[in-house]
Structure formats: structure tokens, C-alpha cells
Structure 1
Amino acid sequence: MQFDFSARQLITRLIFWLSVSSFVGYLIGHVWAAMTLVSVSLLIWHYLHLNKLVTWLWNSKSLSPPMAEGGWGRIYDGLYHLIRKHRNKQKALNERIRRFRDGAEALPDAALVLSNDLTILWGNKKAQNLIGIQWPGDVGQRIDNLIRFPEFAKYLEAGNFESPCNVPSPLDAEKQLELRMMAYGSDQVLFLARDISKVHRLEEMRRDFVANVSHELKTPLTVVRGYVEMIQLAENDFSPQWLKAFSTIEGQVSRMDRLVEQLLVLSKVEVNSDVENSDIVNMPEMLGQLIEDSQWLNVDKKHEITFDIAPDIAMLGSDTELKSACSNLLSNAIGYTPENGKIHVSWQYDGERAKFSVTDNGPGIKAVDVARLTERFYRVDKSRSRDTGGSGLGLAIVKHVVSHHHGELVIKSDWGKGSEFSIYFPNEVISSLKN
């Protein structure tokens, strides 16, 4: 119920009572005494209700206000209405909080709400089971004080939370966790931890299987190649049809051998995820050797290959892995560029980073395929890959090598115009050959 009350009404009522008291005092001959008595009575009446109001607000557990008439009754009713409204809002807010917590508890992941300075504000029960963080016992603790792994410390220091961070569980070293962080509201961070132990074990089994099978294939392939080469040497003992068949066998064995070699390299770079970047790799010398070795690949296609190699930029890292990555990019350009094409190989500074790039004027790659090029066995044109001996593993190897050296692989391609494959290496892994 709406109630309008103004200072004018208050003054009007006060004047009314004073007028009545003065009139009665005039009739009995005591005007000031009557006015004083009425004023004191009004003051006492207001103070009594003020005392009731204070007692109700601070000491009473009852929601119902004291009974009163007139203006005080309206005040009590107004306060009662505001309290009921506030309690309804509080009840609705509590219901929302309950639903949020029920939803958070239903998540299969450990969930924490952090402040911008990474202190813990809230967590679900899964956080206690997976990472040993309890709520509310650990409220106010920094997350990096409770999850103490070098990988996680580097992840926080880098500040790039687009990709997850994988660490062992603080409670069980056999468990592997995937940690993710994302903005939550305007001034908070949502932290999620997921148990990926099964996926991790399956990935290890896959790598072991590929590595073991590839290793086991090496011996029979070597035997078959040896017998085929021995037969080809005795070409006078066989008809042209058999010689053609043996030549086909030799070509397929060679292709199979290259595939096995790349599988072994891929298995190795996947396992060796932490490269000790302490060895200085003479990149100009290594690239010069690669360019010289690649000339035999260019015998049939006769590409125009140009080079721009800075003589003083070296790298800290794995010579074998860097050689494999650069070799794959160069051989891909030679293999997929049509005859008499143009290929440019560059190793130069690009700002504070070093950039290795291979540019060609080949057929290019459609935008829909660019994002999938680094997947294992993914080939844009399967028939063309068979013709050129491609396995779909080269760029997967490049991706892992680049990751080990904290670099970035950038692929730019215009359909029908050509492609540029570039690797950017950060300043911390760059060295100098100058004395």
C-alpha cells in the first residue's frame, strides 16, 4: 500500500494539536500550561514508538512489527514491506547460489574460482579429490602455492591460457591432469582441472605401438630391399616383365622405408617433449648441408631454388630435430610444386625473433585444409601424395619440433598462387655465431 507523507502534513498536525491545546488553555485560563502539556505528551508518545522501533529492529526475532496508529503505523508497515522484499530477494539469491553450486558440484572436473591475483575464493568437492584443495579451508591461498610444478609455474608466467597445461596430480603421481584457466566475470578467473589419465595412457600406448611396429618393420624391409637389389643386378636372368615387377617392388619398399623412418622420428619427437636447449646449433651450416642434399630431389622437377641465409644466427636446441623440421618443409616444397617452379628458402631476423621460411609458387592450399595440415596422416590431395611419396607425417613432426623449441609455425597459402611455411623462434633460443 502506497503512503504519502510530507513535512507539510507533519507541520499541519503539529499546528492542529497546538491550536487545540491553546484553545482549551484559553478556556481554563492556562494557555501556556496546556500547550506545554500537549507538547510533552506528543514528545513522550513519539519517543515510546521510537523505542519500540529500535527494540523491534535490533532485539526482536519477530518479523511482525509493533502495533501502532497514525504515522508510526505507516512507518512500521513500510519497514515491514521493505524487510519482506529484502528477504524475498535474499531467498532468490540464495536459490541462485544453490543452483550454481549444485551445477559446479555436478561437473566432472575440479573447479576453482580465483581472484585476479590467483587467490582461491571458492572450490567444489572434485578439487579436493583431484588436486587436494579444500574449500573453505584453503580460501585466500594462492593457487601456485598449492600446485607446485615447474610446468604450471611456466604456464602462469607465460600468461597464455588458450592451451591447457598438463601436470601430474599432487595427490597421485600416476594421475595426469589437464589444467585450464579462463576469465570469469570482470575480476575473477575460473580454474578447471580434468583427469586425463586414461587418455594419457592411451596416447602412450599408441606411441609405443607405432614405435615398436615401425622398429619391427625395419628388418623385413631391409631383407626385401636386399633381395630385390640382388635380383636387379642379375637382370640378364629375367624377362623385362619380371624386371619391371622388381622395379615396382623396389619403389614401394623405398616408400615404405621412408614411412617407417618418419614414424620413428615422429615417435621420438613426441616422447622427447622437453628439449634441453643447451647445445648451439650452427643453423647456416646445417641449412647449407640441407640445401646441398636436396639438390637430388630437384633433378627431375628442375625448380629455381633461391636462398637468403643469415651467416651469424645460431640456435639453442636439438640439431637432429631442427634438421628434421627444416628438411621436411624444404622437401614438401620441392615435392608439391609443379616442374620449373620457384622456391625461396630464408633464415633471417624478424624483429626480435628468428624466422625460417620456405616459400613456393605451387598450387597453394585451401583455407579449410590449412588448419589440419599438422595432423598425423592428413593429406590435402591423397592421390598427389601417393605420386610424390608423401606420408602425411612431415608437418606433424615439424609441429612437435617447433613446440619443443618454444617456436610458432605459421602457414600462409593462397589457393592457386603458392604457399609460405614459416617457423618463428623466440629470442631466448637464439644465439649468435659472431666472435
Structure 2
Amino acid sequence: MLERLSWTRLLLELALFCFPALLLGLIFGYLSWLLLASVLVALAWNFYNQLKLSHWLWVDRSMTPPPGHGSWEPLFYGLYKMQQRNRHRRRELAILIKRFRSGAESLPDAVVMTTIEGNIFWCNGLAQHLLGFRWPEDNGQHILNLIRYPEFSQYLQQQSFLKPLTLHLNNERFVEFRVMPYSEGQLLMVARDVTQKRQLEGARRNFFANVSHELRTPLTVLQGYLEMMSDEALEGSVRDKALSTMQEQTKRMDGLVKQLLTLSRIETAPSIAMNQKVDIPRILGVLQREAHSLSAGNHQISFRVNEDLQVFGNEDQLHSAVSNLVYNAVNHTPKGTHIEISWQQTPLGAQFQVSDNGPGIAAEHIPRLTERFYRVDKSRSQQTGGSGLGLAIVKHALSHHDSRLEILSDPGIGTRFIFTLPKRLIVPATSIDNKVKMGE
């Protein structure tokens, strides 16, 4: 095994060069000249090995060093081992960098690495998508040239990154920025899209405001009549009116609470198994009787139902969807309106449609109809007890069945509410026939 050089080995090697000269000098004389010649030979031999080393390092660059002898052998071998260690470290560093970049690309946030001055030297793919960076074109760019917002510039200049900065970008997204020192002279910036979080916070605030508003009116009526009853005895028509109004408002609150519970149950329901057979024709048969009773002869209601068309899905959710659409048509159209309910098979799947020839809905209202508590005619909704939750229930129930509600309306002509369940959810006719035979 080779060992590092030592003074002893170098002196022995010099002695080997000088020994022949010493021997010949003792025999033939001219000792000093022979010793000088030996030293020159040793110097030439070292120059030769230096040239070999230089050629290997700068020209050859092969993996293995040239053969060395004497004191040069451990030098060549030592350089070779050092080269192997450096190569191994480079491989480990490359793997580490690859893992870091792979992990950064997998993060759900945009990651940007900059110098302390703000020059970008790396970013992940989400930064390119969320912040509009181009890579590698933006390599070396100053980050303030790409994110041009006064608040962001001030945030970087303050060099106080204890709290995140949230910006409303030009692409209508809310982005939360966090900056932290990464290593000496470098900064790591993490940008997170918090648009959905902001929307949920806004929806929550609107929800509580709407619920408070919806409950305030009936509670005020009940409180007023209860105070009247406590102050004086109500008799006759006044008492009957008070009881009727309180019952009506109590019924309204009860309906609101039931719809809120239904909506909450549908929203929080896990992914449903699409193996339950739902007999929509039977459900529509019950709704037909209820719709005629609710209309009290004020509407012309007709049903066109394919009695053999059943689907797979969640019966409670589909019942909520179709019943809300039917009840809305009866409750929110004027007297004399013709309402048609259809359940038919189409090339796209099983289609349910409720159409009327009522006054229609203005185009600006249609995109918001499925929002909670949104009502086109609030005065009429108060008269009919509408809460603005029915279409929100329909929307979420259909989303669990890979379908969506389509609303078509022309003011003065009428409105159509349509949804189509995918063909894969239709129960095969053979399965229905076998069920009928077993029932017989």
C-alpha cells in the first residue's frame, strides 16, 4: 500500500542517484563532476515526471494517471484518489440539487430563490404559472422588474419578513408572499395562492349576514306579537291573525333551517358510491301530486316521464335536486303559467328539464342564481317563503353526480332548468326488466 512521501524516502532516492557517481569517483577520480552529473540526471528525471503530470492534468484528462516511479508514484496516486473523491462529491451534490429541485417542483407553492440584492437565480414551475415568470429567460433578472407592485417593493426594502405580504394581482388572484434568508447572501421567497381562502372567508361572512337577515324578520314578528300578548289579552280576529302570522313565520324559519341542514349535508357528504338505483319516475309521480296541490289550480302543470328510465346515484340528493326545481317553478311563476316537467333519455344521458312560459329571468341574474340566498325578486320570495337556497342545493347535489345545472331564459318568453346525468349512470333496461319479473 502506498504511503505519503517523507524526508527519509526523498534522501534515499537522492542517495540512489549519487551512489553510482560516488563509486565511480572513488575508482576513476573526478568525484565532484560525477556527483554534479548525478544531480543533473535526478533533476532531469523530476522535470520529466512534472511534464507527464502536466500532460495528464491539462491534455490527457483520463481517469487513470500515468505510471510513476519512485517518489512520484505516491504523488500520481494521491492526485488520482483526490480526483475520485471530488468526482464522488460532485455526484452527491448533483443528486442533492436534483432532489431539492424535484421537491421544490412538487410543492403546492411558488418558490423563487434570489440573491440578497434581489436577482433571481432559480424558480420552480409554479412560480412561472402563478407569477408569470419565464425560465431560463428571467435568470439574473431583478425580482422588482417582474413583480411591480409598490407594496411588494416596500416589503423587500424594509428587510423585515416576520409577517407575510398578501397582494391582489392583476390576474385577479390573491397571493401571499413569504420571504426568508436562505443562506449567506441569498433569499428564499414562497408565494401561495390564497384566492380560494379569501373567497371562502367572503362566503362565510356573507352566509352569516344572510342567515342573520333571514331570521331577523320572523323573529321580529314573533317577538312583537309575544310582547302584545304579554301586555294585553288578544281576542277575536286580532288573536287569530297573531297566531296565523306567528305560525307562518315559524314555518318559514323551520323551512330555512331544513334547507340549511340539507345543503350542509350535501356539501359535506363524502364521495358517494354510484351503485344505488334511483327510481326517478316514482319520485316524479309523488312530486306531480304535490305540485298540483301546491299550485291549487293556478298553473297548468304537465309531466312527460320515461317510466323505464332509472339511474344510479344517491336518492336523497337527486330527490332534493328535482323537487327543488319543481317547487321553484310553482312558487316563483305567476298564475296561469304553463309548467312542463320532462324526464327523458337523450344521446348525452338522462335529462331532466323544467320549463315554463313565465316572465323569464334577466341575463345578469343567471350566473348568480345558484349562489346561497340570491333571489331575483326578493319581494316575491318573501311572499312565497323562498330562502334562495333551493338552486344552491341543486348545484351541489348535481356536482356529486358529474352533472351541472343549465339555466336558459328569455325575458317575456320563459325559462328552462336542465341537467343531464351521464350515460354511465343509466340503469340498463335488462336490470329493470329482471326487477319487474321478480316483483311479479
Say which one has the larger Rg. Answer: 2
| TM-score, length of structure 1 as denominator length | 0.49
| TM-score, length of structure 2 as denominator length | 0.49
